[in-house]
Chain A
Amino acid sequence: MPTLHIINTSPNMRTALQSCLRVMHEDDGIIFIEDAVISVKKDTPIAELIKEKILTGKCFFLKPDLEARGIKEESMTQGIKLVDYNGFVKLTIEFYRTQTWS
C-alpha cells in the first residue's frame, strides 16, 4: 500500500525527515511542504540525504511554499518535482494513503 509521506518541518530543526527516510518503502512518495521546503537546496547535507529518493521520481515539493521563502529554481536539486495545491491533492489521491511527519 504505497504511502505519500508529508514532511512539514525543517530538516535543520527537527528529525522528522531523517526518521521518515529510515522507514519509508521504495514505492512510497514524499512531499515537502511549509518549513520542510528548505530541503530542496542543492549541494547541502540534506540534498545528500534525499538523493536516492529523488532518483525514484517520487520526491515532490510544494511550489507556493518555495515562492513564499524566496527559494529560486536555480538553487534547487535536480530531479525533484514541483507541484501546486491541485497537484498536491492529486498526489493524495494517487497514493493509497498519506502519512504526516512533523
Chain B
Amino acid sequence: MEQKTCLFINRRSPYGSTHASEALDMAFALSAFEHRVSLIFMDDGVLQLMRDQQTETIGMKNMSPSFKAWEDYEIQHLYVEQASLETRGMQASDLLLDVEIIDSQQLAKVIQSHQFIFNN
C-alpha cells in the first residue's frame, strides 16, 4: 500500500458530539497502517487538548489521555492555530501536550502540503 500524507483538521469541541473521538480513532488507525498523519486543532477543536478534563459527571469517556499516545502511534505533527487559542482566552500552558502553535498563514502551507484532508 502506498504511503499517503493525511491531515486531520479538528474543529469541534470534544464532548458535544462524537466527531472528535472518532476522528482521533481514525487518525491513529491510518497512522498505524503507516500513512504519515498530522493533526491540526483550530476553532473549538483546541478544546480537545485542554488539561484536566473531568468527564465523570457528564457520563462520557474522557478522550484526552489518548492524545498522549501520539508518539507511540507515530503521528508526525500536532499543530494548533494561535488565533483559535486567543479567541478562547487560552494559551499554550492550558494544553496537555507540547504542540506546534502556528499562525494562519503557516497553517495554510501545512494544509497545502498534504495529499488528504479530513475536515471535521
Question: What is A's interface to B at a CB cutoff of 8 Å?
Answer: 8-10, 12-13, 34-35, 38, 41-45, 47, 63-65, 67-72, 75
Contact = CB atoms under 8 A, between A and B. Distances in A.
A43 B51 CA distance: 20
Chain B: interface size category: 20 to 34
Contacts of B55: 67-68
A70 to B, nearest CB: 4
B13 interface: yes
A63 B94 CA distance: 19
Chief secondary structure at chain B's binding surface: loop
Given A35-B16, A35-B44, A64-B57, A12 B88 contact: yes
Given A13-B43, A69-B14, A70-B53, 14 more contacts: A8-B16, A10-B16, A35-B16, A38-B47, A41-B88, A41-B89, A41-B90, A44-B89, A45-B87, A64-B58, A67-B55, A68-B15, A68-B55, A70-B47
